[in-house]
Amino acid sequence: MGRIHTHRHGQSHSTRPITQRTPSWLSMSQKDIEELVVKYGKEGITMSQIGIKLRDQHAIPLVKPIVKKSIKKILDDNGVKQEIPEDLNNIVKKAVGLQKHLKIHNSDKRNVRSLELVEAKVHRISTYYKKIGVLPKNWKYKSVVAQLE
């Protein structure tokens, strides 16, 4: 699938395991995997980083086929929750980085446009999350407040 604001057609990515079954060589139980996910979630690690950590350090290819729940569902069931969703948080961080850059390089017209596109993406995603109830209805992105965080 193509990106909305670029001319590129996609991004490179790692290949996921072919089969959705639990590997026969896996030595950890479902409960152990859930405990690891909750432990990492309480440490403040994001969901994508938890998946990468489980893959690289504990040889767990995918959590969902083994535990029958996603990482997000496991964290929600155990009361570990982030204030804003990870994808929205990443885009807000990108906007803050562009704003810092533009304070120093105020004549960088290309990045002025990039900032407009990123902020438009923030507003689109926040509208979606407000509609499904993940964010409160009164949540609003403000560039000045985002820089302070």
Q: What pTM did the predictor assign? A: 0.77
Distance CA 48, CA 72 (A): 10
Per-residue pLDDT at 147: 61
Distance CA 67, CA 77 (A): 13
Name the 3-class secondary structure at 123: helix
Residue 85 has a CB neighbour count (10 Å cut-off) of 18
Tens-place pLDDT, residues 17-35: 777 788 888 888 899 999 9
Tens-place pLDDT, residues 92-128: 999 999 999 999 998 999 999 999 999 999 999 999 9
Distance CA 122, CA 30 (A): 36
At 81, is the pLDDT very low, low, confident or very high (cuts 50, 70, 90)?
confident
At 16, is the pLDDT very low, low, confident or very high (cuts 50, 70, 90)?
confident
Per-residue pLDDT at 2: 54
Per-residue pLDDT at 129: 94
Residues making up the chain, counted from first to last? 149
Per-residue pLDDT at 1: 42
Helix-helix angle 47-58:30-42, to 10 degrees: 130
